[in-house]
Amino acid sequence: MLMRMIPTRVHALMDYGVGVLLIVAPWLFQFADESSAAKWISIIVGVAMLGLSAMTDYEGGVLAHVIPMRVHLMTDAIVGIFLAISPWLFGFADHGANAWLPFLIIGLGELMAAATTDPVPGARGARRGHAHPA
């Protein structure tokens, strides 16, 4: 079992960074003209990640605190799996590494972040003084 070592404050920063990265990825990695599916999956998932983060009950929840952190982490894991398999699921794995590799790397990163983030936000986690089980 992986240790829950990423605090929610750091996870929030990562969420917003990855959300923006996914939105700009089609142009940054130059696959916008190669695959419409890759472009729109990247943009839609990026916007969804920003929305999820803005409504999560953690330090990064800027709109509302309605989504529990454990639900957020489960969603991150599902998104990670989806991103990692989407090049093959939607048929853009043969469009070059610039199209499929970002999805695989970001997807695996999402899975790792979901597995290693402490699910208890901020001071509530620090008060308990120990890592929390999955």
Q: What total number of domains does the chain contain?
A: 1
* Residues of the domain holding 58: 14-117
Percent of the chain with pLDDT over 70: 90
- Predicted confidence (pLDDT) per residue in 62-99, tens digit: 999 999 999 999 999 999 999 999 999 999 999 999 99
Provide the pLDDT for residue 133.
47
CA distance 32 to 115: 31
Task: Judge whether 84 lies within some domain.
Answer: yes
Give me the pLDDT at residue 112, please: 97
Q: Is residue 55 part of a domain?
A: yes
Q: What is the pLDDT of residue 114?
A: 97
pLDDT digits (tens, 9 = 90+) for 122-133: 765 443 444 444
Whether residue 4 lies inside any domain: the answer is no
What is the average pLDDT score of the chain? 91
Q: At CA 79, angle to CA 77 and CA 81, rounded to 5?
A: 70
